[in-house]
Structures are given as C-alpha cells and as structure tokens.
Structure 1
C-alpha cells in the first residue's frame, strides 16, 4: 500500500510541476509579446532611418530585462543587425506575423515583423526575435516546486507514521510483552511461567500464547512423570548405591569445583579478548569520526563561500532589475513626444506638397499662403516643444542610467543631480497624485560615485510609492539636504502607512519584504544600507510609526578624499 501511494503521489506531484512549468512559460511568452508594443515603434524607425547604432542600443536595453536571454534584429533582407545573448539561427525568409517557436538548448523565442507606416502606406523593414530560456522559467516556479515536493513529503511521512503506529499497537507492543514473559521462564516454577499477555483480538499472537501455555502444561506433566520414575529408580538402586554414595559424592564435589575453576578462567580469558577487540574498534571509530568531521568542516567552508557568491549575484541582479524598470518607464514617456513630433512633421510635409502643387499650377493665393504660414508656425512650435521634451527626458535618463552602472567617482552638484533622478522617475509618478518636495542648498558640490546616490534615492522613492503609499491616492515625500562640518546630511520623510516596531527592526535585513509573493525581493533596503555604510562610508537610520510614515536620516562625508 505504501509503495502504491508513493507512486501515485510521485505521478501527481510531477503532473503539478509540469503544469506550473507550462503556466510560467505561457506567462513569459505573453510578456515577450507585450514587449513588442513597447519597442517595435522605436526599432522600426531606427531601421527605417538606417540608424544601426540606435537599433543595437535598443537590443542591448532589451537584454537587460530579466525575461530576455537573447535578441535578434534583422532588416528586410534577413541580414542580422543585432544578435545578442543566447540565440538560434533563423530561417532566411522574413517573419510576416508574430510567431512563438521552441528552439534547441532549452530556449524559446517570439518573432514579429517591424512594419513602418508612411503616408498611409505600410512597409516591412525587418523583424525581431526575443528569446527566453528554461532557466528563467525555473527561477519563477522554483518556490512552487519546493512547496509541492514538501507537501508530498509531509503527506507521505504522515501516512507512514499512521502505519507504524498501527503496527506498533497491534504487533510490536503485544510481541514485546510476550517476549518479556518468555524471558522470565523458570524451570522450577512452570505454573508461574505461563503467558498472560493482554490480547484483545483473537489473532496469531493469541494462538501463539495458547500453544506456549499448552507446551508448559505438557512439560509439567512430563516433569511429574519423570520425578515419579526417578523415585522408583532411586528406590531400586538405593542398596547398590549406599556403599559408593559417599565416594561418588566426594568425587562429584571435586570434579564440579575443578570444572567451575576452569570455566571461570576460560570466561575471564574471553572477556579480556573481547575488551581488547572493543577498545581497538572504539579507537578505529574515533579515527573515522575525526576524518568525517574534517571533511564536513571543509564542505561547510565551501558552502559558506558559495552562499556569499550567490548573495552578491542576487544583489547585482536586483540592481540591474531596477535599471531595467527605469528603461521601460522612460521609453514609454519618450515615445509620446516623439509620436507627436512624427505626426506634426507628416502634417507639415502634406501642407508643403499642397503649397508646391498650388505654386506649380500658378493657383497660389495670398489666403492659401497665409493659412500655410499660420499652420506651419503652429506645427513647428508643436514639433520643437515635443522634441525638446524628449531631449530633456533622454538627457536625465542617460546621466542617471550611466551613473547606476558605473562606480567611477566625480564631483557633481547634489541638488541638480537629485532633480535628474526625480526626472528619470517621472513615469512612475505621472499617473498618481503623489508629490516630491526637495530642499537642497544651491551649488552643493559632492565627490563620490553618483550611481550610489542614484541607487539610494531610487530605492527610497520606489519603496515609498510601492509600500508606503499602497492604497493611498495622494502622498508627499520631503527630501531635506544640508551640509555640516564636511558631512552631507539627508532627511527623507514620507507620510505613508509606516511600519510597526517589529517590522522596523528587520527593515535592513537581506530578503526581508512585506510583499512576499507579490514581486518583492527584500533586497532594496539591504542594498541601501550597504551603499551608505560601505560605498559612502556613512550611516543610515530609520524611524517609523504605524500610520505616520517612514523617515531616513543619512549622513556621509562630502568628499571621499577628505
């Protein structure tokens, strides 16, 4: 029964794991298809304008996304413009519709065409293939797999416990009781040596007890017959033995004494040999235990080294994931003014064609020219405004993104840099009513790695938006910066829901999060603490009460070389 149950549990668990795998794979395929709406427009225009560096830059940006393992971009002739990461060779025919394919090596990809629309006409300028892999799917369902295996293990262990408990109650305990009574067997007290175990069921043990008791009764009857026969024999030989009785008794006494002495000597010899063997075996066991302990210590040291490497890799992954989210948000905001600019330029081009046609046909009038100039002025103003907006967004994002991926130190104005960081986070604020208020002295020059500052403020602001302002429509973040005795002091305060004393004590611990299972990694505040204390050689403290927001007090040297 245990074997059948184990096999069924194994089959069901494997089926559940396979279902989890298919669901995770379908979700990742859906995310790859969603990326098409985000990046296809910019990629199409870059290839149409033969801007290969921009297309390669977009491909590198896609590679930073956690679900992307490889990117292939081809032009309309199926020539590769970019081929990054884990990819596979594509058919020479251009891709005309979005299609999902599985590839060798544990990868799968989503291919879709790049269609450029111009003056009401469409033209395919190339195609894109985004790759993901089994490792990414396993990373998403790893916790679920461990849960399913643990659940099956617990159920199996509980069933085994029930069987063992029933086995002990119905067989082991009664058999032990019978064995104990049998061990007290006394040849001189046969009637008291019978078995009297507490058996409630009429089973094999009851039959064994009855058979044993019957054997004892037969032994009693045989002993009685033997005693009677011996009495008759002694009476018949009494006269014959009277003369030799004393001599035989003396010889018997001497023989028994000598046998006892020899037996005791032999027993002592055996005990001495046994003790020597046990001592030798104990020494050998101790030597093996010492060797095993040394081996376990070496394995433990290697495990600690591996654990530290895994932790460092997780921290770096969290950092790059934050930058990937920043890329997706800023790309969406840049697409809006660029789309308006493209529309304005197309409108101006159409009006120029109409003006040229009127000029060629000599039907150009002052009213037509005035209308064209008025519309051209408005279109040029709209085009310039949106291009400037896109330029500002890209400039802010470029500085912050480059700094976050670099550890180089330089002198910079802290107030201006804070504005660039907030500008790069604008996509996360534009659909909310939250406000960020900054108070910083003008021309406050700081020398350190700007990426450290960007990472710290990005984590603090995103934590306030995700955790502090959860279920809150309008919140306020206040950032106060000051300089005192060569140190920079920063007070960060939000009016969110705050933390309880128990959660506040765990705030800076690695892998601590209040959004377990909803996308929280628990590394954000841990990274902040390490950056302030190690990269900036400063200190960070947190204060909070439930319902009264969260406050960070940070101070670090204004110049690292001071």
Structure 2
C-alpha cells in the first residue's frame, strides 16, 4: 500500500500551500519594506523641516563667531527623538560640533541640501549655512543631521506586528479550508479508487469494474467510465487474442521459410561489403600520405611566420631609432631658433653699448680738461658752463642708450629663459606677447612689417611660458620668411578672446598664402616650401606638437593663395599636465 504521506493529494496540498506561503511572505516583506521606505522618507522630510527652525539662529551665531551658542544649538538638536547625530562645521570644513552617531564628511564645503545614506545604518540631511547681509550672501558653514534605522523601526514597529499577525491568521484559515476541501473532494475518492483497483482480477473482468461513490459528476466519474470501458475492451481483446495466436503459429512457419532465403541474401551482401572495406583501406593509406604533406606545409608556414616576426621586431627597433632622431632634430630646431634670437639681440645691444662707451670716453676727456684748468688756476666761468652743458648732454645720451640696452636684455632674458625651461607659472598674456615681439625686434627693424596685438589686459594664463614664446616666434618668423617673402610691408594681427575655461588666439597675416596641397601637409614634419634654402620643415611641426601635446589645446590653419594665412589656437586657461 502507498504511503499516505506520498499520496497525490498530500503533494498537491503541500505545493499549493507552499506557493501561497511564499507569496504571503513576499507580499508581507514588500509591505514592510514600503512602510520602512515611507517612514524613512517622512523622517528625512522632518530633518529638512528642522532646517527652517534653527538655521537662522545658527547662521547668525556662526557669522558672529559665537561658537558656544552653536554648540548649544547642537546639544538642543540631539534632544529631538529623530536626531541621532549632529555635525556643525565652519566655512573651512573644521568641526565646531560633532555629537552622536555621525560619519566623516568630505572636506569641501556643502553648497546645497542633500539627503544621503551612511555606513552603520545611518542616514543624514546636510545643508549649507548662508548668511545674507546688505543683499550679499556668504557661506559661513554647513550642518549635517543624522538619523538611523532604529528610529525608523521604532515608528513602524506596530504596523509590522499588525502585518505579520494578519498574514498568520489568513494563512492558518486558508490551510484549514484547503485541507477540508482536499479531504472531501480528492483524498477520499482517491482512496476508494485505489482500493477497487487493487482488487482487480484478470480472470473475472466483470467483477473488476469500478463503482465509485461520487455525488457529483467530475473527473472521477469520467475516470470510472474510461476504466470500465478499458475492462470491456480487454474482454474483447482476449477473444481476438485467441484467434491471433492461431494466425501467429501459421505465420511462424512462413517466417522460417523466409529466414532461409534471407541468410542466402546476407552471404551475398557480406562479400560485397568485404570488397568495399578493401577500397576504404586503400583510401586510408592515401589520406595518411596527404596528412604528412600537410604537416610539412604547416612547418614551412611556421618557419615563414617566425621570419616575419623577426623582421617586424627589427622594423619596430628602427622606428624607435627614427623617433629618437626626430626628437633630437626638433630639439635642435628649438635651440637654433633661440640661437637666432641671441644673435639678433646681441647686435641690437652692441649699438647702445657702443654709444655709451663713446659718451663715457668723451665725458672722461672733458673731466680731465676741467681738472687740468683747475690745477693751473685757469678755470673760468665760461669753461665751467661749457663743461656742465657737455656733461648734461653726455649723461642724457648715456642714460637713454643704457635704458634701451637694459630693456632689450630684460625682454630677451625673460623670453630666452622661458624657451629653455618647461616650468609653469602664471603670466599676463598681453604683457608677455609684447615681450616676445620686443625680443623679435632685430628681425623686424630692417622691414616695414607691422604687428597688431588685440588682447584684454586681464587675461591671465597658467602654463609653461617658453611654449608660448616658441609658438609665437615660429608663427611670426614663418610669416616674415615665407608669407612676406616678396613684400616690403606686411601686417600681422593677433586677436585674443577669453572664454570661461579656454582661450582663443586668432593669428593672421596678409602674406602670399598657401595652395591647397601645401596646406594639407602644413604641420607634417620635414615638409617645407624652402627646401635647399635653409628651411628644415620642423617649425610648424614643433608648433603643432606644443599646442596639442604640451598645452593640451587645438590648432587649425586656413589659407588661400594671395589671401594670407590664419592660425586659430584654442588652449585651456590652466595647465592640464
């Protein structure tokens, strides 16, 4: 007899109740989570409401540096049931009060109210303290109010107990209802069906039919009818089976005759199969030969791949050598540019220094003459007046030329030091541009070219100044050497505009311009239109690398033949290196 614990009704009841129990647990858990979230949101709203209660007095206390009152307010806030911790900081992020359960705040000041969770089951509302005075606002500090999950659970404790109790009562009632229904409608009819089926007698099929005591027509009634129909079919089948046995005996005799003829046919097929096996063996030998040839070909390909890999490594080494040579050429070009600047400045400095030496010699000669007249007692008023007049003119000439030499050396010193160094500093762009143009005066003094600078006085940029000097020097010299090659008077316009985070520099000249094919290769290394005339093809390449890689900016070039050349540079106001 089947164990009652493993009957169909028990399993079905267990699964139905299990599904209902799981759904009840999920729904109850969802309701509890909803209660928790709502309670947490409500407490967060209360913390935000507290801001309107005490923020004014606390802000004034912070403004007046009354830290005792601020701490007293923090202690008062700790008395509120929903507050588990209070943090008050000044505008520098220093804690004035740190009471209860709190978490470490970021050092940067809080600029707007925010609710956020913290470790340890706490959450808080942080907001800034802003003091308004004469229509101006000042951040004087910030406040963080903390609450915890324990406070939330204390608020929803009764509701949780009610939800759990309600789920238990409904589950118990439903279990009782299901057990009664299953016993009446499923378990008892199944037991009766099992008992009658166990009394089945193959020799007395008529008495083995089912007679279930089911009040309503349902699946058991259909099962009874189907089972009884099966019994009737079995009785009919027994009759037909007896007739079939006689036919089977006759068929066995015919089968024996057919087996003899079949064995003869199998012998013929076996001979044919043996011939096929010999053919397959020959094909196998040919396949082995092909496999050996394929293996040899794979080995040859592996050798070729090794050789190619070796050549690739050699090529990579050659590329590294070429890159090193290119970097050395770029550095040489920078030093050559600085050397040209030194030569021009030295020539311009020699002129005022020569005038200064001549004026000093003249003044020394006049002084010796005056001293001789003084010792010989021949000094007269007219001689003294002549000496004073000559001395005044000589000193004026000497002062003007020394100041001129000093200004040239000062501009050259700043620009030259910047070009040889990559140190970053804060510079006024307009003043620095004027220094760069002044350092290029030796290259401009023999021409009638004009450089116009349009730059706001307040533009300040943080970068390596030598990079800017190299960039503007290359652009100006490129215009003088290439753009103004056949021109007696050219014009260069430098326009600077400032955005919140970037700086736009528009450089343009009215030179002869470039054709489209030359413009496409303008920034390529070693490309020059003066090949064999002293051009290295590295000036614009260095300028492009300085803008895009060192200054982290962008540069574009525009030009048409006969309409000059234009550079548009966009660089950040602060270095991003």
Q: TM-score, normalised by structure 1?
A: 0.50
Q: TM-score, normalised by structure 2?
A: 0.48
Please tell me whether Structure 1 or Structure 2 has the larger radius of gyration of its CA atoms: 2
Q: Greater RCO between the two (CA within 8 Å, min separation 6)? A: 1
